[in-house]
Amino acid sequence: MSKLVEQALTVECDGLQLAGGAWIPAEPRATVVLLHGMPSQMPPAPGSVDYPGLARSWAERGWAALWADMRSVRGSPGFFSIEGWVRDALAWLGAAQALSPGKPLAVIATSAGGPVAAEAIRRGGPADALVLLAAPAGWEDFADDAHDGARRVLFGSGLALGPGVLEDPAVWAAEFGGVATERSIEEVVIPTLVMHGTADTVVPVGHAHRIAARAPRAELSILEGAEHNLRHDPAVMDSVAGWLEQVLDLPATGAS
Where do the domains of the chain lie, and which CATH numbers do they carry?
A: 4-247 (3.40.50.1820)
Q: Give the phi and the psi of residue 19 in degrees, each rounded to 5.
A: -100, 145
Instruction: Kindly give the confidence (pLDDT) of every residue in the chain, 256 residues in length, as a single tens digit, with 9 standing for 90 and above.
Output: 569 999 999 999 999 999 999 999 999 999 999 999 999 766 666 777 899 999 999 999 999 999 999 999 999 999 999 999 999 999 999 999 999 999 999 999 999 999 999 999 999 999 999 999 999 999 987 767 999 999 999 998 999 999 999 999 999 999 999 999 999 999 999 999 999 999 999 999 999 999 999 999 999 999 999 999 999 999 999 999 999 999 999 988 754 4
pTM for this predicted structure: 0.95
Question: Which tens digit of pLDDT belongs to each residue from 124-144?
Answer: 999 999 999 999 999 987 767
Q: Which of 180, 175, 188 minimizes the C-alpha distance to 207?
A: 180
User: Following CA atoms 204, 206, 208, 211 in sequence, which dihedral angle do they give, to the nearest 10 degrees?
Assistant: -130
pLDDT 10s digits, 192-246:
999 999 999 999 999 999 999 999 999 999 999 999 999 999 999 999 999 999 9
